[in-house]
Structures are given as C-alpha cells and as structure tokens.
Amino acid sequence: MNSIKYLVFILPLILSCRAQSHSDRGYTDGDENKVYRLRLNPLGGTKYDYDFSNQSEFKLDVDGKKVDNSNNTEAGISYFIAKDSSGDLILHMQYSKIRLHSKTGDNESNMDATNAAISTDPTERMLGFVKDAKITAVLSPVGEVKSMTGAKEIIGRFMDQLSVGDASTRKVVQEKWNTLVDGNLIAGNMQQLFRIFPDSGVRVGDKWKLTSRQKDEFALKEKNDYRLTAIHEGVAYIESEGEITSDSSVITMMGYQVVPDLKGKQHGDYQMEMSTGMLLSATITNSVEGTIQVQARDIPVTIENSVRIKRK
C-alpha cells in the first residue's frame, strides 16, 4: 500500500498512469500451458526512469465535525542497474524531482525539492537532501530487498544542519523522516515497485500470495493474491486483489497513543516487461475504513489512496 498517510504531509513516492485491467483477456502468446518464470533480470549498465504520483485522502469524523486531509505527491526516480557475482541486482537510485501538495481543511501547502536551498520549511529542505542523495539497494531476483545504503545517512546529514537547541523542530523532522521519507518514499517505494514476483513458475491464470506491511504510521498488514492474466508481445499483465488490516496494537501518532481498528481492500494492475522483470506501468488503489482510538474515544476514519507508476 502504497502508502497511506495521516495529516498534513504525505510522501509516498510512487505513482503513474493507470494500467488497463486485463482480467477479461486471459490469453497468451503461443502455448497456453507454458510456464513462465517472472524474475528481475535487467542488464547491467542500463538505466530505467520512472514517474510516480500518489493521491491520498484522509477523512476524520470528530464529534460530528468532518476533517478532510488530502495529499498529492509527484516524484521522478532513476534506477542505474548493476549485478553482483551471486546474481543479485544492485540498484543505484537518484530522484529527479519531488513535489508535494497538501491540504488540511482550508490550509494548503506546496513543497518542491528544487526550492530546498532557499526554503525556511524544514520538511521542504529535507526533500532537497533526498533529491540530491545517492541510494543503493541490493535486491534478489524475486524483488526482496536484502540491503540498502545511503538512506539513513540522509537524515543524519540533515540533522547536522539544524540548531542543536531546537528540540521541537528536530522531533518533527525525525517523525516526517520515519513515516514519509524512509517509510514511503524510499523503503515503501521499493516494496511496491519490486515485491510482486512469485517464488516459482506460473502459467497464465495462476495465482500467488504475498504478505507485507505498509510503511506508514499504522503499519497496516496486506495479504494480496496476484494473478498472471495475460502474456502478450513480451509484456506480462498482472492483477492483484487483497485485504488490508491493522493489528490493533498501540502506536504513537503525533505524540498521542493510538489504537487503530482498520480494514480495507487493495487492487492493483501491473504491466511488466518479460525480458527484464521491470515494470512498464502500475496502478495500486486502497480503500480503508474503521476507527482510531485516541484517549478512550473512537474516531471514525476513511482513507482512500491511489499510487501510479509509469516508466518513461
């Protein structure tokens, strides 16, 4: 999931043009009984550029008063490919743009990483550090992230720029980093883009299951069924349907102890280049509702999220 955020700033990076649903196609080029091994296998020395967009809406009902928060994020990222001797993929990542529009009630804000050098807003300045950073991840052929370097160093360098005595700003920046940047823009993005592969060969029509946790405050659990719906002209068409749940454990949000009780659905459409395993496009939508318990009060919550990915 892409990436459902609470209040003001949401920075889930991820995503693009909606892929047309292909559940009614069910065809394959050549032998319908052919077994396909979907794997990450791009050539070393190649580069892949992606545009991401994320739209989310978070609605609360507090004592009959409705609070509506919306967040729109646009980002561009390039992946430079290398391989190690074991066959794992080495991805060198760099962002070309990061833009964020947020609206909470009547209050709106626009942030752009290119303005970081002249901005007085600590979050916008932090986005500039992310844009300028070089991050490296090692992935297995089935999209499992084995290691990542360069991400944690970003927040360390940025904190060094802040006043040591400004504890409140440092706390806010650390929270934004944990939930918005590291949790979604970096780690969450990797999960949505690459953690979709089956662990064995599949035929058209076959399904496989994957379980994961969203990289956000709620740490929502996802159980998804993926299905290979078609193979056509070197492109694999994949759909996913899943359930989203919270585990009702106590979490800290905006300084409060919160107990979420949330459930929802997820749907995804993916187009994957068969020869490399790299996505051509994807659309992931989430719809979640329930309550969050704050200071013994149950507050109704509705979350809608759409993540889109498009390869240039």
pLDDT of residue 64: 76
Q: From the DSSP assignment, how many helices (H) and strands (E) are in the chain?
A: 4, 13
HSE-up (13 A, CA, CB side) for residue 275: 3
Closest CA relative to residue 185, chosen from 271, 134, 127, 241: 127
Q: Is 108 exposed, middle or buried (0-12, 13-18, 19+ CB in 10 A)?
A: exposed
Q: Is 35 exposed, middle or buried (0-12, 13-18, 19+ CB in 10 A)?
A: exposed
* Vertex 267: Cα angle to 261 and 270 (nearest 5): 145
pLDDT of residue 91: 94
Phi, psi of 116, rounded to the nearest 5 degrees: -60, -40
pLDDT of residue 179: 65
Tens digit of each residue's pLDDT (9 = 90 or more) over 245-269: 988 777 776 667 888 899 999 999 9
Is 16 within 8 Å of 186 (Cβ atoms)?
A: no
Residues of the chain with pLDDT under 70: 1-30, 163-165, 179-180, 182-185, 215-217, 253-255
Please tell me the CATH code under which domain 47-311 is placed: 2.30.230
Distances (CA, A) of 48 to 82, 140, 276: 12, 18, 11
pLDDT of residue 70: 87
3-state secondary structure of 52: strand
User: In angstroms, rounded to a whole number, what is the distance separating the alpha carbons of residues 160 and 247?
Assistant: 36
